[in-house]
Structure 1
Amino acid sequence: MKQLTILFAMTFLVMSCAENQTKKKDTAQKEDQFEPISNEILESSVIYEANIRQYSPEGTLNAFTKDIPQLKELGVKVIWLMPIYPISMKNRKATPELSIEDIEDPKEKEKYLGSYYAISDYTAVNPNFGTKADFDKLVETAHDNGMYVILDWVANHTGWDHKWIETHPEYYQKDKDGNVTDPINPDTGESWGWTDVAHLTYENKDLWDAMSNEMLYWVKNHNIDGFRCDVAGNVTTDFWNFVVPKLKEEKPVFMLAESEDKDLFYEAFDMGYNWEGHHIMNEIAQGKKTVADWDAYMQKIDTTYQKDDYLMSFVTNHDENSWNGTVKERMGEASETFLAMTYALPGMPLIYSGQEYDMDHQLKFFEKDTIPKTKGKVWPLLEKFGELKNTNPALNGAKNAADYKRIKTSSDEKILAFSRQKEGEEILFIANMTDQDQSFTVEKSGSFKDEISGEKMSLKEGQKLNFKAWKYNILTKK
């Protein structure tokens, strides 16, 4: 009987090993078949910012992973995960002004989860979100669905619980008394108010190697496809130029800078933020600026950046939503027009968690909150915009972007009209950028299809067009 038990155990062990080897082989084959990220893919990409804590009632990686196949319906090709790492407890933020040390009630303290950007360990997963196995499943699911995963990376500062504060205090900025400081605004010499984090100094070259190793960990061990780098312009460009080639030695990666600093794009970064353009959109929606301001901005972009530089366009993101208001609060009835515009412009459009579900409230930043999950008006719009972005080369927006050409109208301060052209395809965007009905002519003729209504539309030079407040067309040439 004992011999039979041993034989059974050995047989089970052999079968288990064989099964594990088969799973590993299948995973390896899937990854071999998965095309590495490239500029050709990025030309037609939509990026999705995933706020794991607030994405679901559970606030877990697994809850988000279940919905990844749905994101294909929106044309998403890149998933940007907001920081998934453990958050420091020391000096943890409860509100923008208060830390949990200022709160006496232990029960009250429990609800304050802190800022995602106060990281205590770069190579761990926040246990509230799940495990590394859960993370690997998320990446695998994304890859199975033709999507790429980039991690939010915070190289400018760590949380106050990070081990480096004890083991490598030389990695940090210090005041005249030798105390580690929170990040200081170099222009004013005063604190930014980010008191829950400790400021790293890249004058110490040992930090370059240490930070590189932390980033490489995720590329080597968890097969991620790049990074979105927080306040990238506050970290020396030389560091980014040092680390990115090391990442690319392992595999092709996509690098997104939270910055408009053109120096970052020469070597290290693929894409930056269209912050200035976004603020102009807000101000046009609020009647504070006109289309003339937009035209001046586009001319500035054309002369400031190299031809292969490109920016991410958005109507919302985690900062805008939590600190500056919802899309409706900032853009009102112009919200849909500017959403459409982010897809029509050169660059890459962003969807932020909840935006696809018509979210109309500001998510809490330091506490648990949850996005809505009911499809309304925005989801079907994003489906249409996403399909166009994915399939029509006239909306290519990366290093080989389709041409952008302003089209003259009889009312250029109120009407924005431009075309995008590439590989014989053309898309025309026309919008009334005011809260009043407008009549105008446009210097364009031809037969088009309205991609929102599906109707045919003919344009003739000198033809009078009547657009209600904030009306827009996305037209494809027929």
Structure 2
Amino acid sequence: MNTFSKLFIFLGLILLSHQTLADAITDAYHPKPYVEVEHPNWSKNATIYEVNVRQYTKEGTFKAFEKHLPRLKEVGVDILWLMPIHPIGEKNRKGEKGSYYAVKDYKAVNPEFGSLNDLRSLVKKAHSMGMYVILDWVANHSAWDNPLTVSNPEWYTKDHNGNFQPTPWWDWSDIIDFDYNNPEMRKYMTEALKYWVVEADIDGYRADVAGFIPTNFWDNVRTELDLIKPVFMLAEWDARDLHKNAFDMTYAWALHDTLVKLNENHADASSVYSHFAHALSAWPDNAIKMNFVDNHDKNSWEKTMFDRFGPYLNASIVLTVTAEGMPLLYSGQEAGLDRVLSFFDKDEIEWREHPIGDLYKQLFSLKHENQALWNGKWGGKMIPVPNNNPKAIFSFARQQAEDKVFVVINFSGHAQKVKFNENIQLGQYTEYFTKEKVTISANSQVKLPAYGYKVFVKIK
């Protein structure tokens, strides 16, 4: 090859590298979706229900709970989240029964709940009814007497004296912390997570204190689980980065706290506007938030939903189902659970008919049938509808395809008349609860009783 040929090739390589660099720069400025996780299609209009197996029935078993599935299906429940199902540690146990979250064996079933075959039967029955099952997973820590403390003590963090330790700063004396700097520990935990998808055909996980664990661990877990089957992942945390590659849904803690402050007279309806102004701007599209007025943590440590929300309870329930996000129902809520359930001992739920159960059933039915209320990319974005009394009234619309809802909530203790300054709310509706036909025009006034709400559904 002569000198001219070499020079020609050299110049060609330079031009090629410059073009490649230019293409890379151009691509860097091209917007891409932040959320790369593919939500399973069955989650598009799903609701979720937290199952406290121990307290659910007198027997406290999978078999006894399984009898409630037809009732929950009728309520409109789609995803069953089972609180941890594993054997509970005995060393440093709290209470007689101990905490679900002090896991003694990650590949075994708590014998108090039944057997692996009982769990399989429950999952199979749920699947046959069009429902899905996720397990609560405690990856951050284990019980003191988990056999891993003997076989692999290097998998745990140590305090300044070289001893096993609970998560620092927390009063979690019945558990000790794993060390996620250890690759073998990560592999063990990943294999344990895969085990239940394969052996029990479960549909995903709720990850306890997910933010205490490196995000790249969860990213890899999601990849490996999705190779088995499409799963749904819920993180007990509140961070946008968890949505990118690992989790379908995170907790809407801030929404809960905002609504509680209304009852504590520390806020008014304008705080609800402020919450969504922040949350909907900071969180990426297609990230699903889990909305709730109760769960096991709130009920166990912060009194009942009636105590926390007072007269704002029903209005708050309506908001948590109609706002962007997936609504959660906790065991016993539908029966008007009005006491704190014991966390470490047996404390059976009293089952009864209750108006709160009826309210959830109505709202879940609307969510299933109305695309505006669907989850993530499938649903409509919340659009604020400004009104002339924003300290008392919160109003918004959601629209998707041919469906639209217009929601007006009175977060005050006085009857209100309100007008609106927008146009998306204009149209003909049926008020969902009263079935009254309504035309919303530019000059329309809506009347609401104290703590009242109206959900207008577009007539198609």
Same structural fold, with TM-score higher than 0.5 when normalized by the shorter chain: yes
Question: Counterpart of 1:45?
Answer: 46
- Is structure 2 residue 202 aligned with structure 1 residue 221? no
Question: Counterpart of 2:237?
Answer: 259
Which residues in structure 2 correspond to 1:227-306 (within 5 Å)? 227-306=205-284
Which of 104, 124, 127 is the aligned partner of 2:108? 124
Which residues in structure 2 correspond to 1:332-347 (within 5 Å)? 332-347=310-325
State the SS of the aligned residue for 2:285. coil
Q: Give the alignment's Cα RMSD to 1 decimal.
A: 1.3
Segment of structure 1 superposing worse, 126-135 or 436-445: 436-445
- Is structure 2 residue 454 aligned with structure 1 residue 454? no
Segment of structure 1 superposing worse, 395-404 or 269-278: 395-404
**Distance between the aligned counterparts of 1:252 and 1:39, measured in 2?**
6
- Is structure 2 residue 145 aligned with structure 1 residue 161? yes
Q: CA deviation at 1:38?
A: 5.1
- Is structure 2 residue 459 aligned with structure 1 residue 475? no
Q: CA deviation at 1:325?
A: 1.1
Which of 346, 352, 362 is the aligned partner of 1:384? 362
Q: List per-residue Cα deviations over 1:70-117 (Å, max 9, x = no partner).
A: 2111221110000111100000012xxxxxxxxxxxxxxxxx101100
**Distance between the aligned counterparts of 2:175 and 2:155, measured in 1?**
13
- Is structure 2 residue 294 aligned with structure 1 residue 316? yes
Count of aligned pairs between the two proteins: 419
Q: CA deviation at 1:195?
A: 0.6
Task: Say if 1:285 and 1:433, in contact at 8 Å, map to a contact too.
Answer: no
Give 1:169's aligned amino acid: P
Task: Say if 1:393 and 1:402, in contact at 8 Å, map to a contact too.
Answer: yes
Question: Counterpart of 2:21?
Answer: none
Task: Say if 2:409 and 2:454, in contact at 8 Å, map to a contact too.
Answer: yes
**Distance between the aligned counterparts of 1:445 and 1:464, measured in 2?**
12
State the SS of the aligned residue for 1:329. helix
Question: Counterpart of 1:72?
Answer: 73
Question: Counterpart of 1:196?
Answer: 174
Task: Say if 1:42 and 1:398, in contact at 8 Å, map to a contact too.
Answer: no
Task: Say if 1:39 and 1:399, in contact at 8 Å, map to a contact too.
Answer: no
Give 1:463's aligned amino acid: S
State the SS of the aligned residue for 1:250. coil
Could you state the TM-score of these two structures normalised by the residue count of structure 2? 0.89
Q: CA deviation at 1:300?
A: 1.3
Q: List per-residue Cα deviations over 1:261-290 (Å, max 9, x = no partner).
A: 111111011100000111001112332112
Question: Counterpart of 1:86?
Answer: 87
**Distance between the aligned counterparts of 1:193 and 1:269, measured in 2?**
27
Could you tell me which runs of 5 or more consecutive residues in structure 2 were left unpaired when the two chains were aligned: 1-37
**Distance between the aligned counterparts of 2:386 and 2:281, measured in 1?**
20
Identity %: 37
- Is structure 2 residue 39 aligned with structure 1 residue 58? no
Segment of structure 1 superposing worse, 242-251 or 136-145: 242-251
Which of 131, 136, 145 is the aligned partner of 1:147? 131
Could you tell me which runs of 5 or more consecutive residues in structure 1 were left unpaired when the two chains were aligned: 1-36, 95-111, 185-190
- Is structure 2 residue 121 aligned with structure 1 residue 137? yes
**Distance between the aligned counterparts of 1:40 and 1:346, measured in 2?**
17
**Distance between the aligned counterparts of 2:58 and 2:455, measured in 1?**
36
Q: List per-residue Cα deviations over 1:295-334 (Å, max 9, x = no partner).
A: 1221212221211112000000000011101111111111
Task: Say if 1:347 and 1:401, in contact at 8 Å, map to a contact too.
Answer: no
Give 2:106's aligned amino acid: Y
Question: Counterpart of 1:7?
Answer: none
Runs of 4+ in 1 over 6 A off after TM superposition: none
State the SS of the aligned residue for 2:396. strand
State the SS of the aligned residue for 2:54. helix
State the SS of the aligned residue for 1:303. helix
Task: Say if 2:385 and 2:396, in contact at 8 Å, map to a contact too.
Answer: yes
**Distance between the aligned counterparts of 1:232 and 1:91, measured in 2?**
24
- Is structure 2 residue 157 aligned with structure 1 residue 173? yes
Task: Say if 1:285 and 1:434, in contact at 8 Å, map to a contact too.
Answer: no
Task: Say if 2:285 and 2:376, in contact at 8 Å, map to a contact too.
Answer: no
Segment of structure 1 superposing worse, 297-306 or 223-232: 297-306
**Distance between the aligned counterparts of 2:41 and 2:320, measured in 1?**
20
Task: Say if 2:53 and 2:83, in contact at 8 Å, map to a contact too.
Answer: yes
Segment of structure 1 superposing worse, 303-312 or 315-324: 303-312
- Is structure 2 residue 410 aligned with structure 1 residue 432? yes
Task: Say if 2:371 and 2:378, in contact at 8 Å, map to a contact too.
Answer: no
